[in-house]
Chain A
Amino acid sequence: MAAVRALVTALVLVLAVALQAVVFSYFSIGGVVPNLALLVVVAAALVRGPEFAAVLGFLGGLAIDLAPPADHVAGRWALALVVVGYLAGRVRHDAGSSAVAAVVTVAASSFVGTSVFALSGMLLDDPSVPAAEALRVIPLAVLYDVLLTPFVLPVLMRLFRRLRPHRMAY
C-alpha cells in the first residue's frame, strides 16, 4: 500500500511539473504560469503537515529544477518549495478549516516561494534577475496561483486525504 501511495504522489508531482510547462504556457499572463507544483505542496501541507510537505516540496522543486526546459542552477526551486511546504504545514491548523484561510495560505506560499527563488537567483547571479522584473513577476504569480486555487486545491486535498495512511486518520 505504501508503494502505491508513493507512486500516486510521484505521479501527481510529475503531472504538475509537466502541465505547468506544457499546457499552461498557452495561458500564460506575460509569461507567468500558475505554479502547480507549489499548489501540490500547499495541499499536502494543509492535509499532512510540515514534514511530509517539506519532503514533497524538495522532490517537486528538484523536478522543476532538472526537467527541461529549466536552465537555472539546480536546487533553487527545491529550496523555495521546502520553505513553502514547511511554512504552510505550520499554519495548517488555522488554514485547513476555511476556504478563505486556504486561499490566503496559497497566496502567502506563492509569494514566499517565488520570492525565495528570485532572491536565490539574485544572490547567485544566475541568471541576473533584475529587481524590476521580479517585482513584475511575483504579484502576477501570486494572482495566478490564487485564481487556480478553487479549482485545484480541493481536488488535491481530497486526494491527499485518501492517500493518508489509515493509522493517522482522525
Chain B
Amino acid sequence: MAMPSPRRRPSRTVLVLLLLACFTIITLDVRGGEDSPVDPVRAAVGEVFGPVESGTAAVVRPFRAVPEFFHTTGGLRNDVARLEAENATLRGQLATTDVARNRAAELDGLLSSSRQTGYALVPARVVAMGPAQSFSRTVTIDAGTSSGVHPDMTVLNNDGLVGRVIRAGRGTATVLLVVDQESVVGGRLGSNMEVGFLRGRGDLGGDARLDLDLVDTSATPGKGDVLVTWGSKHGAPYVAGVPIGTVQAIYSSPRQLSKRAVIQPFVDFSSLDLVGVVVDRSAASDRAVIRAGRLDSAKAGTR
C-alpha cells in the first residue's frame, strides 16, 4: 500500500444485493418454522463442516491432553477406563437417588428400574462449542446418524444430564445444552416426587444455574434436594431418571403462582468432553454401544 489508490465511491449495488440476500434467508428460516427450506442447506453444510470440526478436534486433542500423558501412557486404555467409570458412576447415581428408592417403595420398582438402568449409550466426544456471541448454548459431538444418533435423544455424561440432540448429520450431531435459554426440561424432585419445569439461564461456567418452576404451588423443595429428569413418552426428548442437579436456593413471591428454585447442575458445561447419547437398546451403531449387561444383574441382586 505504498501509493494511495484513486478514491472512488464503492458501488452500493453489491451491498444492497447482499443485504437483500441476508433478509431473504432470515425470512425464509423464520417463516419456515419447523420445516424451514434452510434446513436441507444446513444439513449439507453440516456434512461438510462436521468432518472438518472432527478432524480439527482430533488434531488439537493430543496437545490438549499433553498433561494427561504424564500420568498415564496408554491413551486407549485411558478411554476404556473412563467409559467404564462413566457407566459405573451413572448406574450408581441412578440407583442411589431418592427417586429410585421412592419408586421401589411404590411397587413399580421392577418396571422402572429396568427402564432406568436399561439405557444403552453411544459414547461421543464434544468436538466444537458454540460461541457466547451467538447467544445459544450448543455443542457438536462426533457421533451422528451412522452411530445411531438421531434428533430428540437424551445426552448425558458421568455427572448427569447434558442436553438433547437437536440435529444429526452422518458423522456429527448438534446438542442443545440444558443451560440454554430455550431449553425446557421436565424435572422431578427426589425427596417428594414433585414435578416441575426447568429452564436454563444461558450461563456456561461454574456459575451455571437452572430455574425450576414447580407445578404444585404448595410443594416446597428443600435445599440440597436432588432433581432428576421426569421423562417423556418413548424417552424423547428426555429419558426418565437422569440426575440433573441439586436445589441451591428457593424463592417464592405472593404474586407468582409457583415457587421458583435455583438448581445447580451436576455437569460442568464449560469442560464437556466425553458424553453418552441414550439410544434404543436394539439400535444399530457403527461404534461400541454401552449396554446394560452384567451391571444390571449385579444391581438386581443388591436391591
Contacts and interface: CB of A to CB of B under 8 A. Distances in A.
Interface of A: 14, 17-26, 28, 30-33, 35, 49-51, 54-55, 57-58, 61-79, 82-83, 86, 89-90, 93, 96-97, 114, 117-118, 120-121, 124, 126-130, 133-134, 137, 140-141, 170
A134 B14 CA distance: 30
A25 B129 contact: yes
Contacts of B38: 66, 74
In order of increasing CB-CB distance, the 9 nearest A-B pairs are A31-B132, A75-B25, A25-B129, A67-B49, A21-B128, A66-B45, A69-B138, A79-B22, A75-B26
B26 A79 contact: yes
Interface string B1-33: 111110100110011001101111110111000
A54 to B, nearest CB: 5
A33 B128 CA distance: 12
Given A66-B45, A67-B49, A75-B23, A28 B132 contact: yes
Given A14-B49, A31-B204, A68-B174, A55 B138 contact: no
Given A68-B174, A126-B30, A93 B4 contact: yes
Contacts of B262: none
A22 B203 CA distance: 19
A83 B204 CA distance: 29
Given A55-B18, A58-B18, A74-B38, A170 B5 contact: yes
A113 B142 CA distance: 30
Interface stretch (B51-59, B83-91, B235-243, B244-252): B51-59
Given A14-B49, A21-B128, A21-B140, 6 more contacts: A23-B56, A72-B136, A74-B38, A75-B26, A114-B133, A127-B181
B124 to A, nearest CB: 13
A28 to B, nearest CB: 7
A137 B42 CA distance: 26
Given A22-B60, A22-B128, A71-B166, A32 B133 contact: yes
B127 interface: yes
A16 to B, nearest CB: 11
A69 B130 contact: yes
A36 B10 CA distance: 25
B29 A31 contact: no
A71 B130 contact: yes
A79 B133 contact: no
29 contacts: A14-B52, A17-B49, A21-B129, A24-B131, A25-B128, A26-B64, A31-B205, A35-B131, A49-B10, A50-B10, A50-B15, A51-B14, A58-B22, A71-B130, A71-B138, A71-B167, A72-B136, A75-B25, A78-B25, A79-B23, A82-B19, A83-B19, A86-B15, A127-B136, A127-B181, A128-B181, A128-B182, A130-B181, A133-B135
